[in-house]
């Protein structure tokens, strides 16, 4: 069934998608917002598990309050909400989705916003697939929504502002984090000055960071700069973790290893944008390791070039990771531009209304850039595996099985077809960059030159029975 | 099986592959699909000096995107609406060729000393309606005459034989000889063994022109100049094995190759416990379905994909996906909760009369074409035939006249 009633479809119900939806709807557009999760709010505003009573909203922090406010913005008559609805593919102007009960539904709006968010950056090192090694996002979900701690002795390894935020949050919720390591060096005075000069308009974020730091201090959790995780060991589960000092490129320095006992290793090395849909639409990309590798090329309204006949707006962390405030501002700007484009808002009015958001976006981005300078992700993060490390966990392919293939090709698709790395359930979301880095190193190229494997639909796995359509008949064959 | 396939892929070490084109060679093969790589293998095995030139990487087009089915039974795409006596003779000829190919596949893993995922666990062709059942019976007669074993089963017999099939199908034919192999590995393994035999490979090398050297005809002097993105190479004999692109280069020499092109759609699912030994096809609808030795299901059968401008790959359509899956589900209902992981597509080249184009041009001596529509099944065999032709004493080589590359096809 094709739903033709909408002016705008928004994919992704995080801060970026919600902001775009409510802004566009406030000018009279009919908007459908789609998210594969059961509730809106995206990554940041995870709701409590069912039957869970909130003791005090403060416990959940201001993220929760902000999330609740945003989600409330969706209660407008012109907005139709589709949860548990997964976008499988986009064909020209048609957005094709599937719902576990209601089945397939297609939309053909006049404009499309894509705000699919980001996921935890996988870091590959010996032992990364052991039970007890978890991403910060997964630990956060457990702790925040179910108040379950994954272990009794949690070692936190990561980098970037979220490493600090995550670990502090976990500690606040009572999770037993006993040590935190950060790969970036202790910030130099110059970098701190750079950060300071960008604080204006970002006092809230700067304040957050200070609070996080003081949480760690008050709980006496040691925080070490310039170290990276290099190994996790244990029989059947993490028992020991090894970390080491790093050089400028984040390569571990031999002789600086420290072994600690831990039953859980929590990894927070930042995020990768979910760019499958952008790739299907032939959008252009830039490369910025610290923002998650490939980032979508777009203008400040979020408008991006694509093979679709309708305007495509790319907003939020799925286009390059810049955080939830920037995501929200990007969403608002896209909403305004679409309202103008579809004739519901004059250009003057659009430009007036966008001033504030543009200013906010610029301020947020300035702060983010200063932060990113402090926590620049270096290529050493891709050099932690040894020959026996599993690189593709879906298909259990080890580094030593991939190396001989890489010897003769720079093409990720070729590596995949010979080694099976990247063929499994996650469709290379987790191993693609790692393999690209291996290729880059072998052939003395930059990782940004190693292209994606060919994008194909569906962007998420789906049961055959949910989409098979007996009404479609093929042409009869041929020799006449 | 001594070496595990992934270790075969050091088939072209980067250094050799990246070095300059040699100035000349006896044979230059253009195209590194299954036809090109297997021909390089058979020629180099006979000691012929061979250079294979591929514009991309080995096995990236039809030969690495196909569904890996051995088509030995007469399949839907070979049928015409009404089978006349001459049609039946054509089909019987095709079956004979297919039976010959089966013997090559029997031995290929031994010949190349590698695990290529070759399965000979039989093929099932299903019929849904009485009409389709009639076709199934007709084709069964032709197959038997041509020497291919097959059995027709209906009702309880069918249900007992293949309990996983939808119980209300009209009937099936079962061909014990049929099977499938891993198309991702066959071409590269041929390339690897050819390279060990001394054949040279250059990938990332696009042939833009083929020129005849004037005063040619002298077997010692080179007759062709092949101009590529990585330089020029002269040679005595050229083999065009560029599949879907074979017509373009041939046209430069004034030869018209009557090719049809069509983008084909393939689906792959998540793995499930292994149970489906036989490949499944449909006599009236577009379907091939098999469980691989990685336990995933590959579902194809000729649904179209959308044409895109080269070098973008043909894209998959929603209607082919859901239509193809519906046919699969009709035949094998238990697939309903298996997850579709990915789709892909490849460009398939066919001749209008469905016969191979194989051999040397009489109009342009020294210029060869190697192309065949069901090229996964028949590719290695026709490459072997061409190699035998090319290594025979001058004037002694023979190939079936109906494969003649100068023939006119309407
Ligand atoms: C695990 C994790 C934890 C985080 N925790 C914090 C935190 O505590 N504090 C903080 O400040 N920042 C946090 N961040 C960062 C913050 O969440 C992001 O900056 C912000 O959420 C970005 O907003 P967004 O709208 O771009 O994406 P998201 O909030 O990620 O929203 C994207 C939405 O799109 C949906 N989606 C994606 N693909 C499809 C599809 N094909 N079909 C249907 N729906 C789809 C997803 O389900 C998701 O709900 C976290 C990020 C992650 C990944
Ligand atoms: C989706 C699909 C499913 C199929 N399923 C089956 C099946 O189940 N069973 C079966 O028997 N057959 C099947 N086929 C058909 C079979 O795959 C082909 O017939 C066979 O692979 C053709 O091999 P080839 O070497 O001639 O062509 P290709 O594999 O296409 O190789 C041609 C090569 O030439 C290269 N090339 C082209 N132009 C140039 C140039 N100018 N310079 C240098 N290099 C060049 C290309 O890059 C390419 O690598 C299928 C085909 C498709 C597309």
Domain layout of chain B by residue ranges: 12-63+184-257+354-408, 119-179+260-350
Which of chain B's residues have a Cβ under 8 Å away from the Cβ of A477?
76-77, 79, 286, 302
pLDDT at residue B220, rounded to an integer: 58
A413: nearest CA in chain B?
B60
Helix (H, G, I), strand (E, B) or coil at B130: helix
pLDDT confidence band for B191 (50 / 70 / 90): very high
B17 CB neighbours in chain A (<8 A) are 408
Q: Are B243 and B250 in contact (CB under 8 A)?
A: no
CB–CB of A409 and B339 under 8 A?
no
Ligand 1 center–CA B247 separation, angstroms: 50
Per-residue model confidence (pLDDT) at position B15: 64
DSSP sequence for A110-129: SEEEE---EEEPP---TTTT
Name the least confident of A201-210, A467-476, B266-275, B319-328: A201-210
Which helix (H) or strand (E) segment holds residue A331: the answer is helix A324-341
Mean of pLDDT over chain B: 91
pLDDT at A93 over 70: yes
Lowest average pLDDT, out of A91-95, A228-232, B2-6, goes to B2-6
d(CA A27, CA A343): 10
Interface A-B, measured as beta-carbon pairs within 8 A, has a size of 135
Q: What is the pLDDT of residue A60?
A: 54
Tell me which residue in A425, A474, A478 faces B323 most closely, judged by beta carbons. A474
Give the domain ranges of chain A: 2-119+272-372, 122-269, 381-449
Residue A479 has pLDDT above 60, yes or no: no
Interface test with B, best of A474, A476, A480 (most B CBs within 10 A): A474
Strand partners of residue A106: A2, A96
* pLDDT at residue A389 tops 60: yes
The stretch A395-402 carries a mean pLDDT of 94
For ligand 2, atom 14, which residue shows the shortest CA distance? B66
Rounded to an integer, the average pLDDT of A81-87 is 98
My answer on whether omega of the bond before A458 falls inside 30° of 0, hence cis, is yes
Question: What was the pLDDT predicted at A196?
Answer: 81
Which of A83-87, A350-354, B88-92 has the lowest average pLDDT?
B88-92
**pLDDT band at A174; cut points 50, 70, 90:** confident
- Which pLDDT does position B306 carry in this prediction? 95
Residues B319-333 pLDDT 10s: 999 999 999 999 999
Q: What percent of chain A has pLDDT over 70?
A: 96
Assess whether pLDDT exceeds 50 at residue B237: yes
Average per-residue pLDDT in chain A? 91
pLDDT of residue A154: 96
Of A96, A404, A456, which has the smallest distance from its Cβ to B10's Cβ?
Answer: A404
Ligand sitting nearest the alpha carbon of B29: 2
Of the candidates A425, A474, A478, the beta carbon closest to that of B341 is on: A425
pLDDT at A231 over 50: yes
Q: What is the pLDDT of residue B11?
A: 57
pLDDT (0 to 100) of residue B12 = 64
> What whole-number distance in Å separates Cα of residue B354 and Cα of residue A83?
50
- The residue among B46, B76, B1, B108 whose CA lies nearest residue B379 is B108
Ligand 1 pocket: which of A71, A116, A271, A280 to mutate (most atoms within 8 A of CB): A116
Q: Domain B12-63+184-257+354-408 is in which class?
A: alpha beta
| A369 vs A87, residue with greater confidence | A87
> Which of A11, A14, A18, A372 has most ligand 1 atoms within 8 Å of its beta carbon, as the pocket-test mutant?
A14
Q: Which residue of A has its CA nearest to B344?
A: A456
pLDDT-based confidence at A218, cuts 50/70/90? confident
Among A258, A452, A357, which residue's Cα sits nearest to residue A19? A357
Using the 8-state DSSP alphabet, how is residue A35 labeled? Answer: -
- CATH 1.10.10.1100 given to domain A381-449: yes
pLDDT band at A167, cuts 50/70/90?
confident
The pLDDT assigned to A372 comes to 87
Contacting residues for A271 by C-beta, under 8 A, at least 6 apart: A118, A119, A120, A121, A162, A292, A317, A321
Q: What is the bridge-based pairing of β-strands A177-182 and A223-224?
A: parallel
Tell me if residue A94 falls in helix, strand or coil: strand
- Those residues whose C-beta lies under 8 Å from the C-beta of residue B238, and which sit 6 or more positions away, are B27, B28, B30, B210, B224, B226, B366, B367, B368
Tell the residue nearest (CA) to atom 5 of ligand 2.
B66
What distance in Å separates the CA atoms of residue B326 and residue B320, rounded to the nearest whole number?
10
Confidence grade of residue B293 (pLDDT, cut at 50, 70, 90): confident
Query: Which tops the pLDDT comparison, B344 or B354?
Result: B344
Residue A372 has, within 13 A of its CA and on its CB side, a CA count of 17
Q: How far is the CA of B63 from the centre of ligand 2 (A)?
A: 4
Q: pLDDT band at residue B6, thresholds of 50, 70 and 90?
A: very low
The CATH classification of domain A2-119+272-372, taken from the options 3.50.50.60, 3.40.50.300, 3.10.129.10, 3.20.20.70: 3.50.50.60
Instruction: Grade residue A64 by pLDDT with cuts at 50, 70 and 90.
Output: confident
Distance A41 CA to ligand 1 centre (A): 8
CA A392 to centroid of ligand 1, rounded, Å? 24
Cα nearest neighbour of A403 on chain B: B10
Q: Quick one: how far is CA B239 from the chain centroid?
A: 17
Answer whether residue A144 shows pLDDT above 80.
no
Outline where DSSP puts E strands in B22-97. Answer: 24-30, 50-53, 69-70
Tell whether the torsion through CA atoms of A247, A251, A257 and A259 is positive or negative.
positive
Atom of ligand 1 nearest to the CA of A35: 44
pLDDT tops 60 at residue B9 = no
Measure the CA–CA gap between B210 and B238, rounded to whole angstroms.
Answer: 9
pLDDT confidence bin for A140, thresholds 50/70/90: confident
Provide the H-helix boundaries in A147-188.
Answer: 161-172
Residue A59 above 90 pLDDT? no
Q: Answer whether residue B353 shows pLDDT above 50.
A: yes
Each residue's pLDDT tens digit, B12-61: 666 667 788 999 999 999 999 999 999 999 999 999 999 999 999 999 99
Reported as a pLDDT band with limits 50, 70 and 90, residue B221 is: low
Q: Is A464–B335 a contact, with Cβ atoms under 8 angstroms apart?
A: yes
Q: Do domains A2-119+272-372 and A122-269 have the same CATH topology?
A: yes
% of chain B residues with pLDDT over 70: 94
Q: For residue A156, what are the β-bridge partners? A: A180, A266
Report which of residues A407 and B143 the model is more confident about. B143
User: Do the Cβ atoms of A401 and B6 come closer than 8 Å?
Assistant: yes
The residue in chain A having the minimum alpha-carbon distance to the alpha carbon of residue B60 is A414
Residue B215 has pLDDT above 50, yes or no: yes
Tokens of B312: 């973008």
Q: Is the pLDDT of residue A74 over 80?
A: yes
Name every residue whose Cβ is closer than 8 Å to that of residue A312 and which is 6 or more positions away in sequence.
A111, A112, A114, A281, A283, A303, A304, A306
Residue that the structure tokens 């299907």 belong to: A280
The mean per-residue pLDDT over the stretch A11-31 comes to 98
Measuring from each residue's beta carbon to the nearest atom of ligand 2, which residues come in under 6 Å? B 30-36, 53-56, 60-63, 65-69, 71, 206-207, 241-245, 264, 266, 288, 300, 346-348, 371, 373-377, 379
Please tell me the predicted confidence (pLDDT) of residue B175: 96
Domain A122-269: CATH class, spelled out: alpha beta
- Å from CA of A238 to ligand 1 middle: 28
Q: Which residues line ligand 1 (CB under 6 A)?
A: A 11-17, 34-37, 42-44, 63, 86-87, 115-120, 137, 140, 165, 271, 274, 316-318, 323-324, 327, 459-460
Mutate to test the interface with A, among B322, B348, B350, B410 (most CBs of A within 10 A): B322
> Distance between CA atoms of B226 and B228, rounded to whole angstroms?
6
Verify whether the Cβ–Cβ distance A468 to B325 is below 8 Å: yes
| Closest ligand (CA of B229) | 2
Burial code of A99-125, b = ≥16 C-beta within 10 A, e = fewer? beeeebbbbbbbbbbbbbbbbbbbbbb
| Maximum C-alpha span of chain A | 82
Residues above pLDDT 90, as percent of chain B: 80
Distance in Å, CA A385 to ligand 1 centroid: 28
Topology, domain B119-179+260-350: D-Amino Acid Oxidase; Chain A, domain 2 (3.30.9)
CA distance B182 to B189: 11
pLDDT confidence tier of residue B65, bands split at 50, 70 and 90: very high
CA of A31 to the centre of ligand 1 (A): 20
Higher per-residue confidence, A258 vs A173 = A258
Tokens for A314, please give them.
């790319």
Q: Which residues of B touch A409 (CB under 8 A)?
A: 57
Q: Each residue of B139-178: pLDDT tens digit?
A: 999 999 999 999 999 999 999 999 999 999 999 999 999 9
Mean predicted confidence (pLDDT) in B277-296 = 94
With beta carbons less than 8 A apart as the criterion, state whether B290 and B279 touch.
yes
């Amino acid at each position: 069934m094709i739903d033709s009633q909408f002016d705008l479809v928004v994919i992704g119900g995080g801060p970026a998608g919600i902001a775009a939806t409510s802004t566009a709807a406030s000018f009279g557009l009919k908007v459908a917002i789609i998210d594969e999760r059961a509730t809106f709010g995206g990554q940041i505003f995870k709701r409590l598990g069912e039957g869970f009573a909130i003791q005090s909203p403060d416990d959940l922090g201001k993220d929760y309050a902000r999330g609740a406010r945003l989600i409330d913005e969706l209660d407008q008559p012109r907005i139709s909400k589709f949860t548990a609805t997964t976008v499988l593919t986009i064909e020209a102007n048609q957005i094709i989705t599937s719902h576990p009960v209601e089945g397939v539904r297609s939309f053909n709006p006049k404009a499309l916003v894509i705000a699919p968010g980001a996921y935890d950056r996988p870091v590959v090192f010996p032992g990364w697939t052991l039970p007890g090694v978890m991403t910060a996002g997964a630990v956060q979900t457990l702790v925040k929504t179910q108040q379950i701690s994954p272990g009794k002795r949690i070692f936190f390894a990561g980098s970037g502002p979220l490493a600090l935020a995550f670990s502090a949050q976990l500690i606040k919720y009572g999770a037993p984090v006993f040590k935190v390591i950060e790969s970036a060096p202790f910030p130099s005075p110059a970098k701190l000055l750079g950060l300071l000069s960008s604080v204006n308009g970002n006092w809230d974020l700067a304040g957050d960071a200070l609070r996080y730091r003081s949480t760690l201090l008050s709980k006496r959790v040691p925080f070490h700069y310039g170290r990276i995780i290099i190994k996790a060991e244990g029989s059947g589960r993490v028992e020991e973790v090894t970390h080491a000092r790093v050089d400028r490129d984040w390569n571990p320095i031999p002789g600086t290893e420290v072994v600690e006992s831990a039953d859980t290793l929590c990894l927070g090395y930042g995020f990768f944008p979910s760019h499958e849909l952008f790739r299907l639409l032939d959008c252009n990309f830039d490369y910025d390791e610290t923002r998650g590798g490939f980032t979508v090329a777009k203008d400040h309204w979020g408008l991006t070039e694509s093979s679709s006949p309708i305007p495509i707006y790319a907003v939020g962390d799925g286009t390059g990771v810049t955080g939830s405030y920037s995501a929200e501002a990007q969403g608002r700007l896209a909403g305004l531009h679409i309202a103008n484009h579809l004739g519901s808002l004059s250009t003057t009015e659009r430009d007036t209304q966008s001033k504030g958001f543009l200013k906010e976006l610029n301020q947020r981005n300035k702060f983010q850039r200063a932060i990113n300078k402090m926590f620049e992700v270096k290529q050493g993060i891709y050099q932690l595996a040894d020959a026996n490390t599993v690189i593709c966990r879906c298909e259990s392919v080890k580094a030593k099985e991939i190396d001989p293939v890489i010897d003769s090709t720079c093409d990720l698709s070729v590596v995949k077809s010979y080694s099976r790395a990247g063929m499994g359930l996650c469709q290379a979301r987790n191993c693609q960059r790692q393999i690209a880095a291996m290729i880059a190193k072998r052939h003395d190229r930059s990782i940004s030159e190693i292209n994606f494997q060919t994008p194909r639909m569906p962007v998420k796995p789906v049961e055959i029975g949910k989409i098979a359509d007996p009404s479609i008949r093929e042409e009869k064959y041929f020799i006449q | 099986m001594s070496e595990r396939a992934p270790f075969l892929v050091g088939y072209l070490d980067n250094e050799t592959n990246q070095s300059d084109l040699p100035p000349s060679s006896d044979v230059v093969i253009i195209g590194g699909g299954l036809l090109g790589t297997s021909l390089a293998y058979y020629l180099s095995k006979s000691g012929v000096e061979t250079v294979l030139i591929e514009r991309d990487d080995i096995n990236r087009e039809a030969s690495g995107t196909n569904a890996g089915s051995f088509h030995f039974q007469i399949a839907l795409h070979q049928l015409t609406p009404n089978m006349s006596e001459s049609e039946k003779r054509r089909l019987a000829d095709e079956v004979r060729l297919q039976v010959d190919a089966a013997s090559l596949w029997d031995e290929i893993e031994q010949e190349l000393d590698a695990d290529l995922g070759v399965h000979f666990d039989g093929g099932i062709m299903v019929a849904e309606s009485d009409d389709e059942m009639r076709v199934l019976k007709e084709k069964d007669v032709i197959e038997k005459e041509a020497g291919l074993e097959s059995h027709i089963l209906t009702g309880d017999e069918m249900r007992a034989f293949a309990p996983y099939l939808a119980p209300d199908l009209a009937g099936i034919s079962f061909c014990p000889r049929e099977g499938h192999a891993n198309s991702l590995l066959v071409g590269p393994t041929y390339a690897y063994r050819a390279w060990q035999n001394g054949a040279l490979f250059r990938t990332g090398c696009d042939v833009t022109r083929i020129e005849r050297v004037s005063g040619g005809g002298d077997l010692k002097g080179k007759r062709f100049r092949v101009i590529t993105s990585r330089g020029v190479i002269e040679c005595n004999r050229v083999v065009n094995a560029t599949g879907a692109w074979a017509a373009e280069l041939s046209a430069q020499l004034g030869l018209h190759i009557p090719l049809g092109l069509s983008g084909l759609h393939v689906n792959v699912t998540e793995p499930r416990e292994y149970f489906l030994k036989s490949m499944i096809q449909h006599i009236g609808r577009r379907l091939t379905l098999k469980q691989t030795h990685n336990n995933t299901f590959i579902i194809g059968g000729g649904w179209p994909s959308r044409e895109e401008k080269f070098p973008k790959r043909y894209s998959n359509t929603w209607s082919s996906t859901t239509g193809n899956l519906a046919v699969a589900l009709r035949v094998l209902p238990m697939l309903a909760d298996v997850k579709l992981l990915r789709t892909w597509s490849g460009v398939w080249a066919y001749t209008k009369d469905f016969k191979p184009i194989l051999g040397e041009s009489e109009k342009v001596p020294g210029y060869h074409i190697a192309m065949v529509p069901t090229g996964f099944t028949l590719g290695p065999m026709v490459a072997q035939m061409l190699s035998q032709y090319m290594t025979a004493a001058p004037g002694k080589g023979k190939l079936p006249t109906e494969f003649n590359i100068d023939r006119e096809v309407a």
